[in-house]
Chain A
């Protein structure tokens, strides 16, 4: 298991703009997952990308994975106020033990 490091720590954008956040990790992975946490709530799984995939889409979300750079990015297009939350990545070597970083706190201003 290993920890993902999200960057930036905080991001503030206007509604309708795109938001990009990044995740770096240290060792090889089987997959990487992104989660969202709204204030006062638990984590919600957003998307999983496998190590043999380079890009994946889900609605307004686009995730990329560069295993040579050991990094991933999450792009939220046409952001909404409801996207305001903390976003965490979870790199996985194939086990259950996720080590979450401190996340990216996204604030979308209406």
Chain B
């Protein structure tokens, strides 16, 4: 049973380029969450999506960041015109429902480095 799959594991971009991070949730999970983690810090919530819908994007920066979870295919976190401060580990999690007693299952993250 495959877990949450994220790719790429490592991504290097130059300032001004675009970064696209992909996340395939666990089989049977229709709820996807993205988090960002800076070194030595905890994970910060960014966005919560269901298929074709953004439910809560309260943790997303207002500019340059967008997320989608299409009917077919993985969820995508897109960062346009990256800056040095975007360097972080980005984690995706999924769950079968939204109840607070349903644990989220995490992928191993994408480590984004901005040159």
B35 to chain A, nearest CB (A): 8
Please determine whether A100 and B42 come into contact, CB atoms closer than 8 angstroms: yes
Please indicate the chain B residues that have their CB under 8 angstroms from the CB of A1 in the complex: 45
Q: Mark A19-59, 1 if CB is under 8 A from B, else 0.
A: 00000000000110101000011111100101000000000
Q: A94 on the interface (CB 8 Å rule)?
A: yes
- A98 and B43 alpha carbons, distance in the complex (Å): 9
Measured as residues with beta carbon below 8 angstroms from the partner, the interface class of chain A is 20 to 34
Please determine whether B106 and A43 come into contact, CB atoms closer than 8 angstroms: yes
- A56 and B79 alpha carbons, distance in the complex (Å): 41
Give residues 56-98 of A contacting B (CB, 8 Å).
Answer: 88, 92-98
* A99-B108 in contact given A42-B91, A45-B103 (Cβ < 8 Å): no
Measured as residues with beta carbon below 8 angstroms from the partner, the interface class of chain B is 20 to 34
Q: B24 on the interface (CB 8 Å rule)?
A: no
A40 to chain B, nearest CB (A): 7
Please determine whether A48 and B56 come into contact, CB atoms closer than 8 angstroms: no
Report the nearest B residue to A101, measured CB to CB: B42
Q: B72 on the interface (CB 8 Å rule)?
A: no
- A98 and B41 alpha carbons, distance in the complex (Å): 14
- A41 and B43 alpha carbons, distance in the complex (Å): 12
Q: Which of B48, B100, B104, B107 has a CB less than 8 Å from the CB of A93? A: B100
Q: Mark B97-114, 1 if CB is under 8 A from A, else 0.
A: 011110111111100000
Please indicate the chain A residues that have their CB under 8 angstroms from the CB of B6 in the complex: 42
Q: Could you write out 11 A-B pairs with CB less than 8 Å apart?
A: A40-B108, A42-B4, A42-B93, A42-B106, A45-B105, A92-B100, A93-B100, A96-B95, A96-B100, A97-B45, A98-B104
A-B pairs, 5 with minimum CB distance: A42-B106, A100-B42, A92-B100, A45-B103, A94-B100
